[in-house]
Amino acid sequence: MLWSCVFDIKLQRFIIVLADVASPFGEFLLQHAESFVDLLKTFTTRLVAVRTKLKIGQQIGRNGSVGIDLVAMCVNDILCNGAQPYSFSSYYACGKWQQQLADEVASGVYEGAQQADSSFISAHTAALPLLYEPQVYDLAGFALGIAERAGILPRVEDIQPRDVLIGLPSSGVHSNGFSLVHAVLKRVGLGLTDKAPFSERTLGEELLVPTKIYVKALAPLLNQPNHGIKALAHITGDGLTENIPRVLRKDLAVRLDANNFQLPPVFAWLAAAGNITPEELQRTYNCGLGLILVVNPAQVNTVMQHLRYAERASIVGEVIARKDAKKPQVQLQHFEESLTRSQRQLKSPRRRVAVLISGTGSNLLALVKATRDSAQAVHADIVLVISNKADVLGLERAKQAGIPSLVISHRDFGTREDYDAELTRHLEAARVDLICLAGFMRVLSVPFVRHWRGRLVNIHPSLLPKFPGLHVQRQALEAGETESGCTVHFVDEGVDTGAIIVQAEVPILKGDDVDTLTQRIHQAEYWAYPRALALLASGAVSLPPESKPVSKKN
């Protein structure tokens, strides 16, 4: 459990907000707090979940990221008080001093402080052989935050029915529920170096994915006047069902829709392998939502413009009146269906994807990151990159990602059909299931398109059917449009006429030119293309004979 404490120290503008994570270090934290402000007092508590996550790093000899978790558990709670993290200090205790290990752990703490835009003040260390085994260490952290008096959250009395819940995705298990994780591993006889049943990495690598730090995503919003955010709920221990009520009055409840956020496959696997009920899963884990915002309906569009693409935020529910005090304050709809879909997907082979490029490969990079982030649940792997041009940045990006790549120049072939036949030969040799065109500046032949029908998709920088073809941003500006965006669509024999899978809108702002609008659309593309690939790879979207995409709920 974490404590977040707000203190009025009689400053005219600011108050101090604190959060801490501690194991046996209460005295240290009290002394550290007093060094900041004489009137300041803090509370310390034991956080078992962080310690059980430490064990994973210690067991597999990978200790470089646990410091990020330490910082995250402090600063995310500070953020929920409407405060900006200001400084961070850590305490490292071990059974036997090992400089290399201490440096490795410290690197994670430094990285976490940077992610939190927080100054790292000091790292206190101690070797305690009477308390710890030689290879064992423990961590404590202390964070200080500053907030304007008028910006303190939560504003519990302001929360009303019909307020909107916006969810920010988690990066995985985060730092809670690891005792249950260890029990599940023991139950199924798997070790941390075994391949994870839900990704291409090991279980240890997946479970050590650091807790997401939300400071840089939300601090700019919280600094704006009239941002409309009434409360933030950090989903830690006790999961969804216990954390959200902490920002609600007893006369209110929330209704969440599990169809509106992604359940990471690690939770689907834990539930199946550990025979964990949906209710226990909800009260133990974040289930894919690391942070939930309670937002005034009038400001929802503004908040979503900031968070939708950059942070993959989604509207996940609403506040409702609680008419029966005996009923729970969190109503989670469609969770069992979502869990069943995720578990079914784990039993199917991952789809093999090829990406065709002609340039920088920025969308290729977005697809690579998404397919390698198990929390995004893109049930696919990029197995081949093909470019029709040599020496482009996209090829270097494929090399850095360890993805096989080919250069097949169209200039070496007499006809379009001959070139496309060579593409097909290599794609089939790689056993490719799906093809993503990502800035591939070639018009594909009819035989190629028909051969790969329903398995060939493209992304276009406009809201089709408006502005197909080239120079679309200029066309949108000249037409006086108020919004633009991007479209992921199936490829057919026409030019940008295929059935639409996903669209993402962006506003056209006063003073925009082609460059500024293009950059804004790029951010939408990096969200839309992975989203479309996830739908295709899961079978949720397919192309039937009538050429309209069909969404499968189950």
**Phi/psi at 36 (5° precision):** -85, -55
Among residues 225, 249, 245, the alpha carbon closest in space to that of 156 is found at 249
Q: Please tell me whether residue 475 adopts helix, strand or coil conformation.
A: helix
Of the listed 451, 460, 489, 522, which one is catalytic?
460
- E strands, 170-288, in order: 229-234, 252-257
- Check if 182 is active-site: no
CA-based max dimension of the chain: 81
Alpha-helical (H) ranges within 61-124 are: 66-79, 99-115
Among residues 383, 400, 391, 393, the alpha carbon closest in space to that of 363 is found at 393
CB 444 within 8 A of CB 508: no
Q: Which residues are CB-neighbours of 74 under 8 A, at least 6 positions away?
A: 2, 19, 20, 21, 85, 88, 141, 142, 143
Helix (H), strand (E) at residue 486: strand 483-490
Cα distance between residue 288 and residue 303, in whole Å = 20
C-alpha dihedral (469, 470, 474, 477), degrees to nearest 10: 20
CB 438 within 8 A of CB 361: yes
CB count within 10 Å of CB 224 equals 14
Tokens of 327: 């009923």
Tokens of 330: 């969190």
What crossing angle do the helices spanning 66-79 and 215-222 adopt, rounded to 10°? 20
Tokens of 43: 């509370």
Among residues 161, 91, 97, 152, the alpha carbon closest in space to that of 124 is found at 91
In eight-state DSSP terms, residue 445 is: P
Cα distance between residue 76 and residue 214, in whole Å = 6
Q: Is the dihedral of CA 401, 367, 370, 519 positive or negative?
A: positive
Alpha-helical (H) ranges within 223-317 are: 239-243, 265-274, 278-284, 300-311
Among residues 364, 425, 357, 410, the alpha carbon closest in space to that of 386 is found at 357
Helix (H), strand (E) at residue 142: strand 137-148
Rounded CA Rg of the chain: 25
Query: Taking the CA of residue 297 as centre, how many other CA atoms within 13 Å lie in the half-sphere pointing to its CB?
Result: 7
Among residues 361, 431, 360, 368, the alpha carbon closest in space to that of 403 is found at 368
First-residue to last-residue Cα distance in the chain: 37
Among residues 454, 450, 473, 455, the alpha carbon closest in space to that of 463 is found at 473
Catalytic residues: 460
